[in-house]
Amino acid sequence: MNTIEFIKVGLEESKNWTCRLLDDMRETPFVEPTPRGGNHPLWVLGHLIVNESVLLDEWIQGKPNRFPEYTDLFGYGSTPVADPSKYPAYDEIRPRFDEIRQDTLAFLDQLSEDDLDKPSYCVKDPFCKTVGNCFQSMILHTMSHSGNVTDSRRAVGKPPLLS
């Protein structure tokens, strides 16, 4: 397995796992993961969408974020609130994650191993200095937020999907 194949598997598996959790919370997307609040499933979904555009569009390709309408709600520094009137519907934004991840994988298919070592357009995150680092961050970021959704599932009384 080469590095690009490794990244591809990581992207596919991290999305599949996280979407399995998210889709299981489709009917209750505002359940906060702790009694003190936190990143509810709808915010996690929107945040992953906006962040993947930051990584792919802005930091890898040097283009604008394709989801400017979601940046204030879900971007860096946004604060999740459990108020449905503040957010788009789950079914409205869920396809956006599929779309951007499909574009991410298609872009990755065009790269060579050497392209992964090229510098990114990122100037503020020391972990995203190269194109390869940005792809690594996509995988890790998706998996880290799956924990929020796992906790929200437990808060609503659902059993673990794996034990």
Spatial CA neighbour of 134 closest among 57, 71, 75: 57
pTM of the predicted protein model: 0.96
Q: How far is CA 26 from the centre of its chain?
A: 16
**pLDDT for 123:** 86
Spatial CA neighbour of 108 closest among 15, 18, 9: 9
Flag whether pLDDT at 162 surpasses 80.
no
What does the pLDDT look like over 27-80, one tens digit per residue? 999 999 999 989 999 999 999 999 999 999 999 999 999 999 999 999 999 999
What does the pLDDT look like over 109-142, one tens digit per residue? 999 999 999 999 998 889 999 999 999 999 999 9
Pick the CATH number of 3-155 from 1.10.1240.10, 1.10.8.590, 3.40.50.300, 1.20.120.450: 1.20.120.450
Structural domain boundaries in the chain: 3-155
What does the pLDDT look like over 72-109, one tens digit per residue? 999 999 999 999 999 999 999 999 999 999 999 999 99
Spatial CA neighbour of 42 closest among 85, 80, 99: 80
